Chains A and B, each alone.
Chain A
């Protein structure tokens, strides 16, 4: 489908990550499937390095 025609057809959405986006679409009666996912959250480089060595 050409991109400019995308919004002319029925929208069906797969939402990954922030649930609030899916809820907004549901409120607009848009078909949406939410995928509960978050990126790995190791913000501490020392912890990340240790985890790599400890098999996580």
Chain B
């Protein structure tokens, strides 16, 4: 009889399985629906937000501003003042997007009547969701909440969203794995640079939109093609759909969630269920737009670092010479260094998503908390920096890391579950 596998062997096998499932994913953009249609379990008077769970009293300025705007958008309050009182009263329920297989950039607002992208992982049959990117400037993801923001969201839910959904269904979905591979070779790292993939999506969808859009075709095409970050929300839903099947593998020490709410950074581990391991959200370091200082910035916020959990974003920085300067990361050599360093804390490469400047090395995939703690190398995340005042928008871009304490807590919990002391 073969000897029983040791705990260390079981961890190794579980992590290989997590890595295999991520690589086996076949994510396809299949629809755009209202959140209440896509997520039937999403209750009324509930606001989904980015990051780990948080209460109103601990929310940062942009998050509170966005919540008030979302409450007005849903018609739960007639104006922002009433909405703010309602949100503070406990009448509105707050939950992380991740509890509904969803993700959202920056403040990450998702409510029942917002349009969401639907990505289906056809290998495993699971679906993930993300709101449609609103564009730049005065937008809800940065805490914007005035009439312009609400009106745009209503147009997205009633006109642009249904048109995009019809176009996507008309062509029976847009397979995303190859789009990502092409994007990496065209200079996108899919977190802070999505210019190539956004352009590819316009090419993918324009003809179908022309055939299916009932009105506003010109406005819809300008809305998409005028936004270099249109693809960000698609890649986020894609990343969530790809990592989700790797969650729930006993003995795995692979990180399946990284997310921030502007106050806390939280991670979740494949084998420790729904438990969040949190620490203080950090300030990103990078380049600020003219006229701003570090004092204007809000701590790290958004679910967008789901891209890093599958090897994109900061992990794929070597693919994107253009983003290196934008996030203040130094030179191309530094970018290559970041991607190489992430190989020290991951299970293995993804051979389908390659980095030309690293001799076609696959992106480093599957963060192992043991490797993070043993090396002291923290995951690198490319990110936007938002103004700490609601609705003022992006003030720069930079690099940020999760706090080490998240990984320490996760390891302690993992060890406790397995009786290791």
User: Measuring CB to CB, which residues of chain A are less than 8 angstroms from any residue of chain B?
Assistant: 36, 38, 40-42, 44, 46-47, 50-51, 53-56
> With the chains together, A53 CA to B83 CA distance in Å?
52
Interface size on B, residues (CB 8 A): 20
Known: A36-B341, A40-B376, A56-B371. A50 touches B8 (CB 8 A): no
Residues of B within 8 A of A53 (CB): 7, 415, 420
Residues of A within 8 A of B377 (CB): 38
* CB-CB nearest in chain B for A49: B421
Contact A56 B374 (CB under 8 A): yes
Contact A51 B411 (CB under 8 A): yes
Contact A56 B373 (CB under 8 A): yes
* CB-CB nearest in chain A for B7: A54
B77 at the interface (CB under 8 A from A): no
Residues of B within 8 A of A44 (CB): 408
* CB-CB nearest in chain A for B421: A50
Contact A54 B253 (CB under 8 A): yes
Total A-B pairs in contact (CB under 8 Å)? 48
A45 to chain B, nearest CB (A): 12
Known: A55-B12, A56-B371. A50 touches B376 (CB 8 A): no
Contact A54 B12 (CB under 8 A): no
Residues of A within 8 A of B370 (CB): 51, 54-56
B412 at the interface (CB under 8 A from A): yes
Nearest 10 A/B pairs, CB to CB: A41-B376, A55-B8, A56-B370, A56-B374, A50-B415, A53-B420, A51-B374, A47-B408, A47-B373, A54-B370
Say which residue of A36, A38, A40, A54 sits within 8 Å of B411 (CB atoms).
Answer: A54
Known contacts A47-B408, A50-B412, A54-B11; 18 further A-B pairs (Cβ under 8 A): A36-B341, A38-B376, A41-B375, A41-B376, A42-B376, A47-B411, A47-B412, A51-B373, A53-B7, A53-B420, A54-B7, A54-B8, A54-B253, A54-B370, A54-B411, A54-B414, A55-B8, A56-B371
Known: A50-B420, A55-B11, A55-B12. A40 touches B341 (CB 8 A): no
